[in-house]
Chains A and B, each alone.
Chain A
Amino acid sequence: DTEVTQTPKHLVMGMTNKKSLKCEQHMGHRAMYWYKQKAKKPPELMFVYSYEKLSINESVPSRFSPECPNSSLLNLHLHALQPEDSALYLCASSPLAGGSGELFFGEGSRLTVL
């Protein structure tokens, strides 16, 4: 069982909707990540938060807006998405100090944009 919890598991939205994906971890990790994954492809890094501050934005379109309210929570706000944004969105966490790069992934939120 994963210790990174993502909700919702499935989301269908229209191109004009506003929705949010949520991620929670209680492992005390101070780095949290959003990845996008298309079917049968490797995950693509979107955002990295370190100590609740955005440290990496991999040139992600502004229709994706991340938020890290505290050290346990990570949100991804979605607005005016395109059908090509349909994918599995994975949240991950890792320790910072003393970590070895190992990531702990959630089960993902499968997004369909109509």
Chain B
Amino acid sequence: AQSVAQPEDQVNVAEGNPLTVKCTYSVSGNPYLFWYVQYPNRGLQFLLKYITGDNLVKGSYGFEAEFNKSQTSFHLKKPSALVSDSALYFCAVSALGGSARQLTFGSGTQLTVLP
């Protein structure tokens, strides 16, 4: 079985400050890891993914994520937060990567960037 934990329901950060949204995972085998963002009354938008290769993955809107195999973590980061980054963020993991029926979402983290 695979699982994803997002330990923080809510993260608040001041505009211009760096932000981190935490994610840890549990999966058998090599993980395929994803971050999605959801703005109010919208669908989920893909931000970035880790399949293999460099542990630092760069994605859309200036976001990046660091894969840490020893800590089984895949934290989402951005050097300078914008008010427009305020949204609901989901981490997800897939064990095999080729079949979305095995895509498991975390519980979500509400990010609020304060002006």
Please list the residues of chain A having a beta carbon within 8 angstroms of any beta carbon in chain B: 2, 4, 6, 31, 33, 40-43, 45, 48, 55-56, 90, 92, 94, 96, 98-108, 110
Which residues of A have CB within 8 Å of B42? 107-108
Distance from A46 Cβ to chain B, minimum over Cβ atoms (Å)? 11
Q: Tell me if B90 counts as interface (CB < 8 A to partner A).
A: yes
Chain B residue at minimal CB-CB distance from A93: B100
Instruction: Compute how far the CA of A104 lies from the CA of B107 in the bound complex, rounded to whole angstroms.
Output: 19
Which residues of A have CB within 8 Å of B100? 31, 33, 45, 48, 92, 94, 101, 103
Beta-carbon contacts under 8 Å, B75-112 to A: 88, 90, 94, 96-103, 105-108, 110
Contact present for A102 and B49 (CB under 8 Å): yes
Which residues of A have CB within 8 Å of B103? 45, 101, 103
Which one of B32, B43, B108 contacts A40 once the chains associate, using CB atoms below 8 Å? Answer: B108
Chain B residue at minimal CB-CB distance from A55: B101
Instruction: Compute how far the CA of A43 lies from the CA of B42 in the bound complex, rounded to whole angstroms.
Output: 13
Distance from B10 Cβ to chain A, minimum over Cβ atoms (Å)? 10
Which one of B34, B41, B101, B102 contacts A102 once the chains associate, using CB atoms below 8 Å? Answer: B34
Q: Which 3 A-B pairs have the closest CB atoms?
A: A42-B105, A101-B94, A105-B43
Contact present for A104 and B102 (CB under 8 Å): no
A100-B97, A101-B97 known; A108 and B43 CB under 8 Å? yes
* Most central of B44, B105, B106, B110 by chain A CB within 10 Å: B44
Interface residues on B, range: 20 to 34
Contact present for A56 and B101 (CB under 8 Å): yes
Instruction: Compute how far the CA of A103 lies from the CA of B107 in the bound complex, rounded to whole angstroms.
Output: 17
Instruction: Compute how far the CA of A4 lies from the CA of B42 in the bound complex, rounded to whole angstroms.
Output: 12
Contact present for B46 and A104 (CB under 8 Å): yes
Contact present for A101 and B107 (CB under 8 Å): no
Q: Tell me if B45 counts as interface (CB < 8 A to partner A).
A: yes
Which one of B41, B88, B102, B108 contacts A101 once the chains associate, using CB atoms below 8 Å? Answer: B102
Q: A101-B34, A101-B100, A104-B46 are in contact. List 12 more A-B contacts (CB 8 A).
A: A31-B99, A31-B100, A40-B108, A42-B106, A42-B107, A96-B98, A99-B97, A99-B98, A100-B32, A102-B46, A103-B100, A106-B43
